[in-house]
A and B are shown apart, each in its own frame.
Chain A
Amino acid sequence: MTSTKKINKKDVAKLLGQWSQEFTVFVPSRDEGVARWARWDGKDAGFLDWYRNTVVPPKAIFLPPMEKMFGFQKDGKDYHLELPASDKPKWLIFGVRPCDAKALAILDMTFSDAYEDPYYLAKRKQGVLIGLGCTNPYDSCFCTSLDSSPTDPTNVDLMLTDIGDEFLAEAITDKGKELIAKTGLAQTATKADEARAKKVKQAASSKVARKIDTRGIGEKLLSCFEDKDYWEKIAAKCISCGICTFLCPTCYCFDINDELVRNRGGRFRSWDSCSFPIYTKMPMENPRLEKWRRLRQKVCHKYEFYPMNFGVIACTGCGRCIRLCPVNWDIAQTLAHLPQPQLKLEK
């Protein structure tokens, strides 16, 4: 006997029903023709039949594409602020993939660094992540090259692994332990269940065929930073849209805009992207007017600057930027063909 639990797949809808009593439950949905996170409709767990990953990552729940920070009213020369309600809803995200859970842990570093971002952090603190290991990764996935795996339980509260008719359920945090203790739907897993889960995990990892070599990647990028020819060449086919950044689970840049209509207004923050020329536009100049500079920024931010600041590569190998790119720009190819340093600086 072990302390690990298991949950029958047939009971998932019941489980979601229980959790709905306490949380707002999000599950993968493709009701509108595209896989996104949506509030559970209270019906069934049909998504288990098709779900591999969502197009829009769970980042969108914590850092929404658009968020009203506060409203305001102009009264003569004064402004009266209308702050958002302080009672934060309790959220439970069911079925988060390990790559996306790791991405949230990466976002946490930025949003709780020099400045603690109340909007993002309040949602994160209230949020529960139920992880679901991949058994069928995409051909664009490369999480195993980034210190993770399709069944990595590190960044979730409760991790589920598909072992056939059941999910093996491993409680990772206290929140996870509490959830599994409270439900009457979990049974104790046997040694055979655990052995099966181990096999499933190994099989899933071996299905991730795409590899990148991250050894010394920061130094390599530093040494070819000024190699305009290379960056121009790899950026030639990029159309500078925001797909790869907006739908990247670790990209967090945002823009802030005020809107004032007849003395009433609001301050909104919305996703922004270093792919856009206007992102760095300043009154006199634009340091990243050419698209190769913008693309270089994206690659270097993920693989050079973020590791310098936070000690982790800001890419989890989810593969969205590759499979969603309308011109098939492929970051793995860019990283694989970085020019070798031509000169060694004399000491």
Chain B
Amino acid sequence: MNHKDMEQKLRREARALLEQGKVGCIIGFEAGSLKFTTTPLITSEPDATSRLVINPFIVNNLSVFLTEVKGRVGVVVKGCDSRSLVSLMQDNKVARDDVVILGIPCSGIIDLGKVEKLVGKDRDEIDDINRDGDRVVVTVDGSKKEFPISEVLFDNCLGCEFPTPQEYDILLGEPTLPPSDKYQAASLARIKQLKDMPATQRWEFWKSEFDRCIRCYACRNICPACFCQRCFVEESEPTWVLPVPRWQDNLMFQVIRNIHVAGRCTDCGECERACPVNIPLRSLTREMYNLVDELFHYKSGMDKDASPFLAAYEATDTEDFIR
């Protein structure tokens, strides 16, 4: 099913859920105030459901709002978002009965930063961006340019393992297959580049990246897995990390955050997208995601009844201390 058909179905279903009183509010996407953007729509008004959209720009992982809203909620999720939602259920942050999950079989989200680089224009200078199967057509100054999706989709979308939601009540289209294996290399290119560096060079790289961090905490606040009421960075007795944006403190913050979301992170890529100073945070989170998979054969947010990764152990675990 294409986006328009899914969108129509979503609007009907969302309206019905609100009108029949099955949910008190719907969390979806509506058109943003700027070209090629969308914005979260959180509404209890049935008429507002006509503003819901599904398009290749629905970037946000809306499960982040579930720990805030009260009552029964209808929430729109892509594959990765559904796993974040399942992960929240595993951690008892969201009850299954409190959500009606409207699932989007996702074919990948367009990374506007990549498009801007490819055409050498800013988002607002681009006339049109259209997805056409495995290609994306960008119109600038009246002329069309075509790019393969490998150059235009977010890195995490290219490496997506489960584009169809894992847990849903209403699936808005036919299940989709993950992107072909040929895109895996592009998805992990930056991580490979970092791994190929000598350790000293890699250290210098991260030092310079974290020197730019302004500690706005957008990476933490946009992340559904970062649900702590009190984050360790805000503790003052004792102080773990000063709120002063020195590269050392910034790096410590991010490393600890990454460990805290191990087994919860679903590689939705929101931390990296939200970062206003372009720190390649996904190079850390995706590497952790892969490590958790390799070492513990665990994939986040796949089974709502499974123990949370960091709270589970088995007698067959490699480490001795557990026995």
Contact = CB atoms under 8 A, between A and B. Distances in A.
Contact of A273 (B32, B34, B216, B245): B216
Given A65-B245, A241-B218, A328-B34, A138 B276 contact: no
Contacts of B278: 32-34
Interface string A230-273: 00000011011111001100000001010100000000101111
Nearest to B40: A237
A138 B122 contact: yes
A257 B270 CA distance: 30
B245 A239 contact: no
B65 A326 contact: no
A31 B244 CA distance: 24
Contact of B244 (A55, A237, A257): A257
A32 B209 CA distance: 8
A242 B65 CA distance: 17
B103 to A, nearest CB: 21
Interface string B232-264: 001000000011111000000000000000000
Interface in B260-315: 270, 273-274, 276-278
A324 B221 contact: no
A140 B34 CA distance: 7
A241 B243 CA distance: 14
A332 interface: yes
Interface string A322-342: 111011111011000000000
B207 interface: no
A138 B124 contact: yes
Interface string A198-239: 000000000000000000000000000000000000001101
Contacts of B53: none
A273 B208 CA distance: 24
A139 interface: yes
B124 A140 contact: yes
A308 interface: no
Interface residues of A, number: 42
A105 interface: no
A119 interface: no
Contacts of A33: 278
B318 interface: no
Interface string B198-234: 0000000000100010111110111000000000001
A52 interface: yes
Contact of B214 (A65, A237, A333): A65
Interface size classification for chain B: 35 or more
Given A34-B212, A242-B215, A66 B34 contact: no
B37 interface: yes
B32 A328 contact: yes
Given A66-B245, A66-B246, A240-B221, A327 B215 contact: no
B243 A55 contact: no
Contact of A32 (B38, B212, B214, B276): B212
Interface string B122-135: 10110000000000
B242 A328 contact: no
B275 to A, nearest CB: 9
Contact of B215 (A32, A36, A270): A270
Contacts of B242: 257, 259, 268
B180 interface: no
B64 A239 contact: yes
| Listed residue (A236, A239, A255, A330) with the most chain B CB atoms within 10 angstroms of its CB | A239
A66 B42 contact: no
B38 A55 contact: no
Contacts of A278: 234
A299 interface: no
A330 B216 contact: no
B39 A237 contact: yes
Given A32-B278, A328-B38, A241 B221 contact: yes
A144 to B, nearest CB: 16
Contacts of A136: 125
Interface string B32-48: 11110111111000000
Given A66-B245, A239-B222, A246 B214 contact: yes
Contacts of B220: 241
B60 interface: yes
Contacts of B246: 66
| Listed residue (B39, B221, B278) with the most chain A CB atoms within 10 angstroms of its CB | B221
A243 B218 contact: yes
Given A52-B122, A241-B216, A242-B216, 17 more contacts: A34-B277, A65-B215, A66-B244, A66-B246, A139-B34, A139-B124, A239-B218, A242-B214, A257-B242, A268-B242, A270-B243, A270-B244, A271-B215, A327-B60, A328-B38, A328-B39, A329-B39
7 contacts: A34-B212, A236-B40, A259-B244, A272-B243, A327-B222, A328-B33, A328-B37
